[in-house]
């Protein structure tokens, strides 16, 4: 029975996506903005969570006091609607023009990291259309193995994995990920980790994130220390009628901050800081609706 439900879900999603995929691009973008506005109006529970998260970030000094929480959240939902449209077109094979409009900044940093021969870990978060960033990196730089959670629906999961593989990328699923990551790094390959999700206690540390304590994965810092891999952050944001992927200068976690959990937590905070800085620059493109601070003494 569950298999039938999964098939119906996947089939229904494809039927809904096809008309959008076939729309002229400008019409599809207008539809995406309208979709985002509709979701903003109707999904009141997540809208309230997002507004409260922004409000607390302002209160804690993590965002400027002039920031308007309602405007940030409304902008996020519009961005979300556009992102859905972009991915539908790309997944249906009709989105090459979207990828062509993405500009890379700092590719020389990526090339420098590759020349180190030590493998690359790039740290990112749920900022901008992060799926497009992974595809572009695979197309124009080098295939990326992205650490991700498998979709609940196996048919949708296969579809997503197929599109990622089409652009040269690979998925490392979280269960048993550590061994696969070490293998990729030893082969001088690229691993991308989104580290702005709450984890359980044995997977990370509680560090400050946008002014509040948050459970944060220690995986990037741990692997960077053990392997000596080149580290860089990578983010995507909207600019005009296109998008920009920006790589940071290369850095290494060489143990200069000391040893033990306290030093590892300090490195984790250092990596997380890259995400916080990007959120401050483009607040309407971060996933404010998720419960980033759960289990760390906060309700949101």
Query: Could you tell me the residue ranges of all domains in the chain?
Result: 2-285
Check residue 235 and give its pLDDT: 98
Q: Is 123 helix (H, G, I), strand (E, B) or coil?
A: strand
Averaged confidence pLDDT in the chain: 91
pLDDT band of 172, cuts 50, 70, 90: confident
Burial environment of residue 211 by CB neighbours within 10 A (0 to 12, 13 to 18, 19 or more): middle
Whether the Cβ atoms of residue 146 and residue 173 lie closer than 8 Å to each other:
no
Three-state DSSP state, 181: helix
Winning range, highest mean pLDDT, from 66-75, 134-143, 253-262:
66-75
The reported pLDDT for the residue numbered 167 is 80
CA distance 77 to 44: 12
Least confident range from 172-176, 181-185, 219-223: namely 172-176
Q: Quote the CA–CA distance of 38 and 180 in Å, as a whole number.
A: 41
pTM (two decimals): 0.92
What are 226's two structure tokens?
Answer: 């053990």
Q: From the centroid of its chain, how far is CA 4?
A: 31
SS (H, E, C) 51-83: HHHHHHHHHCCCCCCCCCHHHHHHHHHHHHHHH
pLDDT at residue 78, rounded to an integer: 98
Better-predicted residue by pLDDT, 102 or 12: 102
Question: Does the pLDDT at position 124 exceed 60?
Answer: yes
Average pLDDT over residues 245-270: 88
Average pLDDT over residues 53-72: 97
Strands of 120-124's sheet, edge to edge? Answer: 102-105, 242-247, 230-239, 120-124, 190-194, 144-148, 170-173
Give yes or no for residue 229 having a pLDDT over 60.
yes
Q: Which residues contact 136 (CB under 8 A, 6 or more apart)?
A: 99, 102, 104, 236, 245
Whether 300 has a pLDDT exceeding 70, the answer reads no
pLDDT at 263: 92
Query: Taken in order 164, 165, 166, 167, is the CA torsion positive or negative?
Result: positive
Question: For the residues 141-164, what does the mean pLDDT come to?
Answer: 81
Check if the beta carbon of residue 192 is closer than 8 Å to that of residue 168: no
Q: Is the pLDDT of residue 262 over 60?
A: yes
pLDDT at residue 227, as a whole number: 93
Q: Is the pLDDT of residue 217 over 70?
A: yes
Q: What is the pLDDT of residue 42?
A: 97
User: What value does the mean pLDDT take over residues 252-264?
Assistant: 81
The per-residue pLDDT for range 17-54, each reduced to its tens digit, is: 888 999 999 999 999 999 999 999 999 999 999 999 99
* Beta carbons of 185 and 248 less than 8 angstroms apart: no
Q: What pLDDT, on the 0 to 100 scale, is given for residue 173?
A: 85
Torsion of Cα atoms, 130 then 89 then 111 then 249, to 10°: -30
The pLDDT value given to residue 142: 93
Which residues of the chain form beta strands (DSSP E)?
102-105, 120-124, 144-148, 170-173, 190-194, 204-209, 212-217, 230-239, 242-247
Question: Residue 129 has what DSSP assignment?
Answer: S
* Average confidence (pLDDT) over 168-185: 87
Q: What is the mean pLDDT of residues 141-159?
A: 82
Instruction: Categorize the per-residue pLDDT at 259 as very low, low, confident or very high, splitting at 50, 70 and 90.
Output: confident
């Amino acid at each position: 029975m569950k298999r039938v439900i999964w098939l119906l879900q996947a089939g229904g999603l494809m039927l809904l996506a096809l008309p959008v995929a076939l729309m002229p691009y400008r019409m599809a973008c207008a539809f995406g903005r309208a979709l985002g506005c509709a979701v903003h109006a109707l999904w009141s529970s997540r809208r309230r969570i997002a507004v409260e998260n922004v409000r607390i970030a302002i209160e804690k000094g993590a965002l400027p006091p002039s920031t308007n929480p309602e405007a940030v959240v409304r902008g996020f939902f519009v961005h979300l609607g556009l992102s859905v449209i972009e991915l539908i077109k790309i997944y249906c094979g009709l989105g090459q023009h979207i990828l062509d409009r993405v500009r890379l900044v700092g590719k020389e940093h990526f090339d420098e990291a590759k020349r180190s021969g030590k493998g690359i870990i790039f740290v990112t978060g749920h900022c901008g259309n992060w799926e497009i960033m992974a595809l572009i990196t695979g197309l124009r730089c080098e295939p990326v193995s992205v650490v991700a959670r498998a979709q609940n629906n196996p048919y949708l999961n296969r579809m997503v994995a197929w599109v990622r593989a089409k652009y040269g990328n690979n998925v490392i699923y979280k269960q048993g990920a550590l061994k696969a990551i070490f293998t990729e790094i030893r082969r001088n390959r690229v691993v991308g980790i989104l580290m702005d999700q709450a984890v359980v206690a044995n997977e990370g540390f509680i560090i400050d994130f946008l002014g509040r304590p948050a459970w944060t994965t220690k995986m990037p810092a741990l692997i960077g220390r053990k392997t000596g891999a080149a580290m860089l952050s990578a983010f995507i944001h909207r600019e005009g009628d296109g998008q920009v992927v920006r790589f940071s200068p290369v850095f290494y976690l060489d143990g200069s901050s000391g040893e033990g959990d306290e030093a590892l937590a300090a490195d984790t905070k250092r990596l997380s800081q890259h995400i916080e800085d990007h959120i401050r620059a483009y607040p309407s493109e971060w996933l404010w609706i998720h419960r980033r601070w759960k289990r760390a003494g906060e309700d949101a």
